[in-house]
Structure 1
Amino acid sequence: MATYTPLSSLPYPAPADVADLPAHLKALADAADGRTVLRFADAAARDAKITAPVSGMVAWLTTSALLTIYDGNAWISPGVWTAYTPTWTAATTNPTLGDGTLQGRYALVGNTCHFQLVLAMGSTTAFGSGAYTFGLPVPAGATGVLVQFVGNAASTGGRALVSAQLTSTSGATGFTVWGPTSTSTPALGQIGATGVLGSAWAKDSGSFFRISGTYETA
């Protein structure tokens, strides 16, 4: 009966096993096959061949020169930027994007997420009421309230630096935005439908948010 190596559980014959070199070599090759860096032309070829991937499998896609890793749920590419559509809500009445644009992208490296978000108000954007919350690409980890993001926003009153923080200490799926809500005081307030620097957002006038940050994922 075969025994196994302690780290990778690769099989090798025991002294009492029946001598069958081809069978022993095949068992070793089969066990090692899924533990190497597999090579495929693209994701479609990979998925057609690996119909039941297991966590930790690594595959190289030659056409796109991309390294992919199966994390137990999906094939991911560490450090590669991926587009996502952030949510945009408000405390009292949710805004509607209309013909504005709301775009995001993110990159995962281990349990670290880097992201960027851009919101540009349009001529049919409705601003809602109450403080704004934007969605993260993946839930945050236990660092939660320790993490803050930076960005800038512009309304009819001008452009202002803003700071954002996660909405909970663990497992946050969004963040709130803080910045100068008045030109008469240096105090920061939570930013929402009332705009920045004491002036509200205006339709199709260059009002926007640009925010980026890094946080630990759940």
Structure 2
Amino acid sequence: MPDWDADSDQLTQNLKSAYRASRDAAFARERPTLRMAQEWHATTLKDLTVPADVLSQLSVTADTITGRFRGEPGLEHCEVGIGVHRGTLAFLVAEELARFEERVQSATAALDAIIPQGDAPATADLLNAVIELCAWVHAEWVRIHPFANGNGRTARIWSGFIAMRYGLPPFVRLRPRPDDGYGAACNAAMTGDWAPTAEVFRRMYLNAIS
């Protein structure tokens, strides 16, 4: 099977499938849940091999990774991060994710009430609110780093889900990894600062519609 991080037909198909699932959920305005993200994650890893050196570094086995959060059985001591920044400690991931889910559900419920289904934001303020929610969801997912791997891809799927829910194009590409300040914004997100992500996303959105 192809490597989980190498360009391959399987990975391309997996990302397309995850995108379609997130698009359909967005258009239907399904309630955002952690289970939804687990399904996206499992889809992106379908029929791909996680290299043995990665498994050894993370102290996990292949069957514990797909669609499962750190802190769950087999992932109790799995700690990950970006560079010098560590994600939420494994034993605290469930607690952090519960807060994430509650907040994203509350935020989408508020926007659902003022942006009719099938419509785009009617004002600049509403457009900015949607982009900022895309940024917060992405940055918070990156900060928590709930999966053993594949967190960036899942965060980008989350941002596309929010964008499409409110009539915007999925302006954050899944692959290749975005550039133009995206990496620096993710590093800032690891410290709890999601403002750089919002700034990068505003540029991405303007580029997507230009």
Shorter-chain TM-score above 0.5: no
Higher relative contact order (CA 8 A, sep 6+): 2
TM band (smaller chain):
under 0.3
User: Which structure has the bigger radius of gyration?
Assistant: 1
**TM-score normalised by structure 2 residue count:** 0.26
Higher helix share: 2
> Whose strand fraction is larger, Structure 1's or Structure 2's?
1
